[in-house]
Amino acid sequence: MAKKKSREIEEETKKGAQNDVSITNGDSESHEKQSKKKKKHREKERERKNDTLSLQNEMPTVSIAVPGSIIDNTQSFELATRLAGQIARAATIFRIDEVVVFDNKSTSEDDSTDVVENDTDEGETGAAFLIRILSYLETPQYLRKGLFPKHNSLRFVGLLPPLDAPHHLRKHEWASYREGITLKNQDQGSIGTLVDVGLSKNVMIDQVIQPGRRVTVAMGTNRNLDAGAPRKIVPSSRPREDGMYWGYKVRYASNISSVFKNCPYKEGYDYRMGTSEHGLVIKSSELNLPSFRHLLIAFGGLAGLEECIEEDNDFKGKNVREAFDLYLNTCPHQGSRTIRTEEAIFISLQYFLEPINRVSSKYEH
Ligand SMILES: C[S@@+](CC[C@H](N)C(=O)[O-])C[C@H]1O[C@@H](n2cnc3c(N)ncnc32)[C@H](O)[C@@H]1O
């Protein structure tokens, strides 16, 4: 849809340029003035259209931020696994693009995923555990063995209901894209790489890539796996741009300010919402979100987001309402004294569904 629109706008711009020539060919002074005015107007119009175009080219995304501490507060490995599974299900059901798992450190430290990789089999932190389970569940089943070495934290993962996301394809299913893992090349002089995409046969791609890498393969229309030109790999965001939900990315942040600072999107999160029983009460049908590119919805742990902000040196002297564009109570008149984070995620994402859809639909027309 966005591509069609950009073509239309290009045509219009070209037409505009042609008109330009015919007007400036006039020889009287008033004609010249008129043409300058029209040119200025067209330039302004072009700028406005370009702005709209760049917005259309970039899909709006929704990220959630969840504290790793909720895992530390569970009573057993099995309960921790089930809790992580619920968050993964919520993220998938509500088509979340990114899950940020944050710690409660006073200063921003190493925010790389090494934090997770360096964790030993035994003493894994809540955040590292949550990231591992979320990433594991998001990965199509046929890729897990190749991408996730055996780890103690994964011992109860088999109990969890699958995410059943659109990229979790079965062996007999055909789709325009498939997630795959690159394999060791059999012959030395090869100009491509074999990829296991979870079909009865591996497919060849037209690039040499080191083994063990997760890639998104454009499958094309040729269903004969023995013949035809090699297939292409595409950015993992491509299926999403084509309108399919293609799973979530997982990221670690050492505290809430790192959630904002280390946003993977160039322009950062342009609308940030915090959730709390102390937040504003607005009916979901009356919540008018501004046009956003990258929306962030944050959830707190046992003591809420207020404590996370208080303990974060980057927010010294600021209160929680200053840290977010909107601080909302998504479940007023609650019957229980506390709503647990995992419950609040489901409740809030359902609450935000309509307001977000109203904004997103503007990008599609
Ligand atoms: C155990 S609660 C923390 C309680 C805390 N007093 C608070 O700020 O809501 C854990 C998290 O669940 C979410 N939550 C709980 N009740 C909520 C409500 N009524 N509306 C929106 N989010 C809520 C918030 O993200 C909160 O940080």
pLDDT at residue 40, as a whole number: 55
44 pLDDT above the threshold of 80: no
- What spacing in Å lies between the alpha carbon of 333 and ligand 1's midpoint? 13
Ligand 1: which of 83, 272, 275, 309 to mutate, most ligand atoms within 8 Å of CB? 275
- What spacing in Å lies between the alpha carbon of 247 and ligand 1's midpoint? 26
Return the minimum-mean-pLDDT range out of 110-124, 240-254, 294-308, 310-324.
Answer: 110-124
- What spacing in Å lies between the alpha carbon of 64 and ligand 1's midpoint? 14
Ligand 1: which of 74, 102, 273, 277 to mutate, most ligand atoms within 8 Å of CB? 277
Q: Give the mean pLDDT of the chain.
A: 85
**pLDDT above 70 as % of the chain:** 79
pLDDT at residue 223, as a whole number: 86
Compute the distance between CA of residue 348 and CA of residue 328 in angstroms, rounded to an integer.
9
Mean pLDDT of 181-188: 82
273 pLDDT above the threshold of 50: yes
Domain boundaries, the chain: 2-57, 61-165+247-364, 177-241
Which of the four CATH numbers 2.40.50.140, 3.30.420.40, 3.30.230.10, 3.40.50.720 does domain 177-241 have? Answer: 2.40.50.140
56 pLDDT above the threshold of 50: no
Length of the chain, please?
A: 365
Residue closest via CA to ligand 1's atom 15 equals 339
Mean pLDDT of 231-246: 94
Reported in sequence order, the residue ranges of 68-109 that DSSP labels E, i.e. its strands, are 98-102
- What spacing in Å lies between the alpha carbon of 277 and ligand 1's midpoint? 5
51 pLDDT above the threshold of 70: no
Which range of 55-64, 103-112, 149-158 scores highest in mean pLDDT? It is 149-158
pLDDT at residue 113, as a whole number: 59
Q: Which ligand 1 atom is at minimum distance from the Cα of 340? A: 1
3-state secondary structure 227-258: CCCCEEEECCCHHHHCCCCCCCEEEEECCHHH
Compute the distance between CA of residue 288 and CA of residue 271 in angstroms, rounded to an integer.
12
Closest CA to 59 of 363, 365, 355: 363
Contact 352, 297 (CB under 8 A): yes
pLDDT at residue 6, as a whole number: 37
- What spacing in Å lies between the alpha carbon of 80 and ligand 1's midpoint? 19
pTM, rounded to two decimals = 0.83
Under the banding of pLDDT at 50, 70 and 90, the label for residue 101 is: very high
- What spacing in Å lies between the alpha carbon of 113 and ligand 1's midpoint? 27
Residue list, ligand 1 pocket, CB within 6 Å: 275-279, 299-300, 302, 304-306, 329-331, 334, 338-341, 344, 348
Contact 146, 92 (CB under 8 A): no
306 pLDDT above the threshold of 80: yes
Residues 6+ apart with CB under 8 A from 331: 277, 339, 344, 347, 348, 351
Domain 61-165+247-364 architecture: 3-Layer(aba) Sandwich (3.40)
